Amino acid sequence: MNQLPFNKPGKFWRGNLHTHSTCSDGTKTPEQVCAFYRSMGYDFLSITDHFMRQFEYPITDTTPFRTADFTTILGAELHAGHTSIGELWHVLAVGLPEDFAPNLPDEDGPA
């Protein structure tokens, strides 16, 4: 890249769309994670914990940690299962509703 994009006119926000908390396999509580990123000058954060049965399908509620200069976006790391060649796929879903639910046992996607 010949020119840094941040040298151009405009407003740039610093954020992270993928991190975990103690709601899945992270080591810090959601409050601690938000406080850390806010203290490091981030403008936004999405805690995308593993949306799996073993963690009780968390959509980590970070709304209490929003401030005038720091926002959070609800999200999760969805596990799409194994492909026909055995690969495990993960998909980041950012902007989920608080009541996002796992599929029912009899629901299935395209083959």
Look up the CATH number of the domain holding residue 38: 3.20.20.140
pTM for the full predicted model: 0.81
**For the chain, how many structural domains are there in total?**
1
Q: Measure the CA–CA gap between 111 and 108, rounded to whole angstroms.
A: 8
What is the Rg, in whole angstroms, of the alpha carbon atoms belonging to the chain? 17
Mean pLDDT of 10-18: 94
| pLDDT for position 111 | 47
Task: Give tens-digit pLDDT for 31-88.
Answer: 999 999 999 999 999 999 998 877 778 899 999 999 999 999 999 999 877 777 878 7
Q: Measure the CA–CA gap between 23 and 56, rounded to whole angstroms.
A: 9
**Is the pLDDT at 110 greater than 60, yes or no?**
no
Note down the domain range covering 73.
Answer: 15-94
Task: Indicate whether 103 belongs to any domain.
Answer: no
Task: Indicate whether 29 belongs to any domain.
Answer: yes
Task: Indicate whether 36 belongs to any domain.
Answer: yes
| pLDDT for position 33 | 98
**Residues with Cβ within 8 Å of residue 92, at least 6 apart in sequence:** 17, 18, 48, 75, 76, 77, 78
Task: Indicate whether 100 belongs to any domain.
Answer: no
